[in-house]
Amino acid sequence: MKKVSIKQVREKLRCKFDRYAIRKDGYVYVWGIMPNTNQYGCYLFAHIDELIKHFESML
């Protein structure tokens, strides 16, 4: 299994979403069309540990 760095996660987030924020507590918020709606906004996407663990399937 390949080790994923924070830098790789940030690059994928940058490509997929308009904006993103990784908070001190590790939660990742993204801006874009919110799931199950047609409205633009900010929403909780995942925890950084989960993104690293499931890198290929989540991003």
pLDDT one digit per residue (tens) for the chain, 59 residues: 578 899 999 999 999 998 999 999 999 999 999 999 999 999 999 999 999 998 888 77
How high is the pLDDT of residue 3? 83
What pLDDT is attached to residue 2? 73
Q: Say how many domains are in the chain.
A: 1
What is the span of the domain harbouring residue 42? 4-55
User: Which residues are registered as beta bridge partners of 33?
Assistant: 40
Report the pLDDT value the prediction gives residue 22, as an integer from 0 to 100: 97
* pLDDT computed for residue 45 by the predictor: 96
Give the CA distances from residue 12 to residues 9, 19, 37, 39, 56, in Å, rounded to whole numbers and listed in that order: 5, 11, 23, 22, 10
